[in-house]
Structure 1
Amino acid sequence: MELRQIHYFIEVAKREHVTEAANAMHVAQSAVSRQIFNLESELGVKLFIRDGRNVKLTPIGNMFLAHMKEAMQVIDNAKREVAEYLQPERGTVRIGFPSSMATYTLPTAISAFREQYPEITFQFTQGSYRSLIDSVVKGDFDMALLGPIPKHEKKVQAEILFLENIVALLPINHPFSDQSSIKLDQLRNDSFVLYPEGFVLREIVVHACQQLGFQPNVSFEGEDIDAIKGLVSAGLGVTLIPEITLIDSMPRSTVKLPISEPEVTRTVGVVTPSERELLPTEKLFYEFLKQFFARLGDFNK
């Protein structure tokens, strides 16, 4: 079994079409067909069946594909590891993040890091809270920025970078918009704009309201931070939002108010796999994040 055969097999399985797979890999269709035939002959099973002009995986082909994807990831990680041990300052960091950290938190850290290590590259993936944790565990990427950091996940370890305030964002014509701060209980009769159920930022807001004996009336939902800010800007409700998401991107016709009672916060940190060591380039960025936000915290004090 050759690596070339595995590459061809995975590409054909993804596209379900031999010609399209050959075109994507810039090789002749006959070469792909021959290597698939050789692979099936070596294994003694059919991996594909014809379906008109397309091909589809057989049940055993599906099982083989899952194993080959894992094998190729192991090989790719091994090649990365060798390359990064030779030149850690020219490696790649794969990092995941939620939308609430896309505007300021992550770009600020990356910009400062690249001043020291300009040849290190990044692969970014935006996702939901649960999907980011799962992807770190599976090795789809090296680490994730999260808020709040998970407390009871066995296969990841988390480092708190800073504690972040959650503030109220109100339409500018709201009755309380001229106050210097607001008590959360004052918003019990308002319509809220929140993330959909299952998003951790929604859970933070709902929990804070429940502590005061009310359930927020959620009239509108947005799946990213900009959508939520836009709905508040349009006067469709109020929201509670991480303060850092409003730096340099305060939506028009809105007012930001600190919450005086109760104090609503979230931890923000970096999550890494607990069952493997970080590669040298990843370690450089991980240590930088801890030092960068520690210095930032000292400055803000």
Structure 2
Amino acid sequence: MRSQDWLILKHLYATKNITKAAQRLYISQPAFSSRLKQLEKEFGIKIVTRERRGVNFTPQGEYLAKSAEEMLLKIQEIKENIANMDREVVGTIKFGVSNFFTKYKLPRLLKLFKDRYPNVDFQVTTGWSRDMFHALYNKDVHIAFVRGDYPWLGRKQLLFEEQLCIASAKELDIADLPNLPRIDYKTDSLLKSLIEEWWTKTYLKPPFITMEVDQVDTCKEMVANGLGYAIMPSMILNGMEDIYKISLTDKEGEALLRKTWMLYHDESLELNVIKVFVAFIEDLDTQDMNGKIYEER
């Protein structure tokens, strides 16, 4: 079987619809159906039964489809290992990247790396840090960029730290926070827990939350327009000089920090392209300990 055949099975199993699966692979529906029939002939089984709204997989077809992801990974691994044999920096790096890092940091890093190693390709999956951590744990990606301290036993490198702060359009007294309107935003569970723990150790009253928005950028704009205060990592506020900021500390006066990490498996370094990328990031960090390479562009 060709790798395209495994992709056909993978996407058909995901969509349960020939038209949608064909669209995902940018091939015509007749060509898709023809190849599916060839696969049924090759294995001597019925892979799917057609229904009015899609398809149902037979037990044999379901087994074959569930093997597709494993086979595609194996094919990619074989290709990478072959490319790795001559020590050329070539291949595909699969990243799992937090939403914030994707928006503000990753494009610049990938451009710098691509300029130096033009034969490397990137496959990027984005989302919440916890999901990217799980993707790395399951070996769906080679490298994860996550925000927060996850229980990772493999290789890790600290990229930068941000102090949590209170952001407001005007000056305020931190003692008055429980009585002032607060704007919250959707974020990962680790950051929520860090903020909630600080709050419960600092105040006897719950926060007066008047808005809950879906994104931190929306929250930032609400704050800038004087609709309330918010608690967020300081890097979110880069370039907003008119915003009043109070850095958060614990009872001992230690800064409340949110760390951003690069995580990867030890065995990933067996791939030359991963080894070179890790060295590339380490070199950037060595050259600029203040993290200027990660500033917003």
Q: TM-score, normalised by structure 2?
A: 0.79
| Pair 1:191 & 2:181 matched | yes
Choose the corresponding residue for 1:37, options 14, 37, 40.
40
Aligned to 2:140: 140
- Measured at CA, do residues 136 and 269 of structure 1 come closer, stay the same or move farther in structure 2, by a change above 3 Å? same
Structure 2: 5+ residue stretches without partners:
293-297
- Measured at CA, do residues 9 and 204 of structure 1 come closer, stay the same or move farther in structure 2, by a change above 3 Å? same
Choose the corresponding residue for 1:295, options 287, 291, 294.
287
1:76 to partner: Cα distance? 1.6
Q: Secondary structure at the match of 2:179?
A: coil
Aligned to 2:157: 159
CA contact (8 A) 1:158 1:269 kept: yes
Instruction: Report how many residues are paired.
Output: 285
Q: Secondary structure at the match of 1:10?
A: helix
CA distance in 1, matches of 2:237, 2:85: 39
Q: Secondary structure at the match of 2:228?
A: coil
CA contact (8 A) 2:159 2:260 kept: yes
Match runs of 1:1-301 below 5 Å: 5-18=5-18, 24-26=26-28, 28=31, 31-41=34-44, 45-52=45-52, 54-86=54-86, 88-150=88-150, 152-154=151-153, 156-170=154-168, 172=169, 174-176=170-172, 184-196=174-186, 199-214=189-204, 215-248=206-239, 250=240, 254-259=243-248, 262=253, 263-274=255-266, 276-277=268-269, 279-297=271-289
CA contact (8 A) 1:166 1:259 kept: yes
CA distance in 2, matches of 1:29, 1:163: 49
Structure 1: 5+ residue stretches without partners:
177-181
CA contact (8 A) 2:147 2:260 kept: yes
1:206 to partner: Cα distance? 1.5
- Measured at CA, do residues 115 and 38 of structure 1 come closer, stay the same or move farther in structure 2, by a change above 3 Å? closer
- Measured at CA, do residues 5 and 222 of structure 1 come closer, stay the same or move farther in structure 2, by a change above 3 Å? same
Deviations along 1:14-42, one digit per CA (max 9) or x if unpaired, are 4434466567335735632431321451x
1:219 to partner: Cα distance? 3.0
Q: Secondary structure at the match of 2:289?
A: helix
Name the aligned partner's letter for residue 295 of structure 1: Q
CA distance in 2, matches of 1:74, 1:194: 43
CA distance in 2, matches of 1:169, 1:12: 48
1:243 to partner: Cα distance? 1.9
CA distance in 1, matches of 2:99, 2:11: 31
1:295 to partner: Cα distance? 3.0
1:202 to partner: Cα distance? 2.0
- Superposed CA RMSD: 3.3
- Measured at CA, do residues 274 and 206 of structure 1 come closer, stay the same or move farther in structure 2, by a change above 3 Å? farther
- Measured at CA, do residues 19 and 169 of structure 1 come closer, stay the same or move farther in structure 2, by a change above 3 Å? closer
1:127 to partner: Cα distance? 0.6
CA contact (8 A) 1:129 1:146 kept: yes
CA contact (8 A) 2:49 2:57 kept: yes
CA contact (8 A) 1:5 1:39 kept: no
